[in-house]
Amino acid sequence: MADALDAQKRLTEAIRMTAPGTALRTALDMIIAGHLGALICIGDVEKVLACGNDGFQLNVPFTAMRLFELSKMDGAIVIDEGSNQILRANFHLNPDPNVPTSETGMRHRTASRMSLMTDAIVVSVSERRQQINVYVYGRSITLRSTEDLGNEVNQLVVSLQTSRNSLDVLLSRLTRLEFENYVTLADITRVYGGFQLVHQAAMQLEALLPQLGSEDKLVRHYIEQLSGGMDNEYLLAVRDYAANSSADQARRIIREFDTLTPREMASPARVAHILGYDDLREDSVVTPLGLRTLSRSTGVPNETVETIVGEYGSLPALMNVAETAPEKLGDIGVSNPHIFVDSLLRLWGKKG
């Protein structure tokens, strides 16, 4: 029996093999549409053949139409590891009946046992239930219809779009409050919650990608368009307010945020504790380092942003110098202080 990592890798492979747009999925959909049943073993041919007998030896190239036509016969169909050749049809499988299985129905019990006794990917199509199950190492997944998958993808894309729009509003407000030095613990709690909603919606979409087959490119585009670049901005937003502002600590904080329920994520006290504070109230004013805002400005590379923050310690302290003596910024690596300050003022909304 494979370990958990190998089993998950093989299961993901099985999902991709049976995703919409693949030749195998086309055949399976034809079998369902024809109100037929089927039992198909893919890979680990030597062990599979050792578990049965009789049938017809074919050794013909795999096509969806051939698989569909052969499913009209009783018995299993045996396909090679790469799904290039159909090796046997009408093959009678006799797995060990003592191998435990919770499945009901002869075809599904056989499929489950074959997946436990071999490394094959075993597909069972139920004629009565019009359902396709894929078995790998005893684990079973039920394939969803293309329409069902499409509906869920559409819902998740809408959710991701809505969450991103809400986050953009929160971030715009946060930037203004940061320049005014009036950010509260409640404000950053809402912003972190917004990041989490976008992250979770994107993760849910990514989890569906192996099932989408040829349709995954458009969904990947949506994910990149709506959540691309967000991870770095989230990291900087956490570094801005954490007691320990290192990147490693910020990553640990985000991983801890990932474990929270929505109710816990909305708790300013819980967020403050994870950030490293136990003495802040919901309305406590918290001062940003300025990493997130400076990273959005014009005229300074990332390493200079770190230098500026190290020099001034907070965004309000930097802005005091920027507005009164911008030439001093040239001493810490800002090549054109006036362009840099102009960019900051535009982010603040003080310049059109």
Structure tokens at 247: 């990147």
170 found inside a domain: no
CATH classification of the domain holding 60: 3.40.1700.10
Q: ∠ at Cα 328 (322, 334), nearest 5°?
A: 80
> Is the same domain home to 109 and 134?
yes
In a domain, 133, yes or no: yes
Burial classification of residue 255, based on how many CB atoms lie within 10 Å of its CB (0-12 exposed, 13-18 middle, 19 or more buried): exposed
Block residue for tokens 């986050």: 167
Question: What tens digit of pLDDT does each residue of 272-291 get?
Answer: 999 999 999 999 999 999 99
Q: Are residues 256 and 317 in the same domain?
A: no
Residues 210 and 332 in one domain: no
Contact 131, 37 (CB under 8 A): no
**Domain C-terminal end among 246, 275, 304:** 275
Same domain, 234 and 261: yes
Q: Cβ contacts of residue 34 below 8 Å, gap of 6+?
A: 68, 71, 72
Among 294, 301, 311, 310, smallest CA distance to 335 is for: 301
Total number of domains in the chain: 3
Q: Do 194 and 112 reside in the same domain of the chain?
A: no
pLDDT value at position 2? 62
Last residue of a domain, one of 226, 245, 275: 275
Q: What is the pLDDT of residue 351?
A: 64
Domain-located, residue 162:
no
Interatomic CA distance for residues 88 and 107, integer angstroms: 17
Indicate if 342 and 249 belong to the same structural domain: no
Q: Within a domain: residue 176?
A: no
Are 239 and 306 within 8 A, CB to CB? Answer: no
Kindly state whether residues 59 and 97 are assigned to the same domain.
Answer: yes
Asked if residue 77 and residue 50 are part of one domain, the reply reads yes
pLDDT 10s digit of each residue in the chain, 352 long? 566 677 788 888 899 899 988 999 999 999 999 999 999 999 999 999 999 988 899 999 999 999 999 999 999 999 999 899 999 999 999 999 999 888 888 899 999 999 999 999 999 999 888 899 999 998 999 998 888 888 999 999 999 999 999 999 999 999 999 999 999 999 999 999 999 999 999 999 998 888 888 778 889 999 999 998 899 999 999 999 999 999 999 999 999 999 999 999 999 999 999 999 999 999 999 999 999 998 888 767 878 888 999 999 999 899 888 888 888 888 887 888 888 888 888 888 776 5
The residues pairing with 39 across neighbouring beta strands, listed in sequence order, are 124
Please report, for residues 218, 242, 299, 332, 338, the alpha-carbon distance to residue 303 in angstroms, rounded to integers and kept in the order given: 35, 20, 12, 11, 19
pLDDT of residue 223: 92
CA distance 325 to 105: 81
Q: Examine the domain organization and report whether 332 and 267 are in the same domain.
A: no
35-61 pLDDT, tens digit per residue, is 999 999 999 999 999 999 888 999 999
- Residue 286 falls within a domain, yes or no? no
Question: For every residue of the chain, which 3-state class applies, written as one string?
Answer: CCCHHHHHHHHHHHHHHCCCCCHHHHHHHHHHHCCCCEEEEECCHHHHHHCEECCEEEEEECCHHHHHHHCCCCCEEEECCCCCEEEEEEEEECCCCCCCCCCCCHHHHHHHHHHHHCCCEEEEEECCCCEEEEEECCEEEECCCHHHHHHHHHHHHHHHHHHHHHHHHHHHHHHHHHHCCCCEHHHHHHHHHHHHHHHHHHHHHHHHHHHHHHHHHHHHHHHHHHHCCHHHHHHHHHHHHCCCCCHHHHHHHHHHHHCCCHHHHCCHHHHHHHHCCCCCCCCCECCCCCHHHHHCCCCCCHHHHHHHHHHHCCHHHHHHHHHHCHHHHHHHCCCCHHHHHHHHHHHHCCCC
What are the tokens at 125? 């199509």
Domain range spanning residue 310? 291-348
Whether 230 maps to a domain, the answer reads: yes
Output b/e per residue, 132-165; b: 16+ Cβ within 10 A.
Answer: bbbbbbbebeebeebeebeeebeebbebbeebbe
Shared-domain flag, residues 218 and 297: no
Query: Is 321 found in the same domain as 193?
Result: no
66 within some domain = yes
**138 assigned to some structural domain:** yes
Residue 72 in tokens:
């009209």
User: Does one domain contain both 135 and 264?
Assistant: no
Q: Could you give phi then psi for residue 263, rounded to 5 degrees?
A: -65, -45
How far are the Cα atoms of 122, 174, 185, 209, 262 from residue 269, in angstroms, in the given order? Answer: 50, 19, 9, 36, 14
Residues ≥6 apart with Cβ < 8 Å to 252 = none
Residue at which a domain ends, from 275, 301, 319: 275
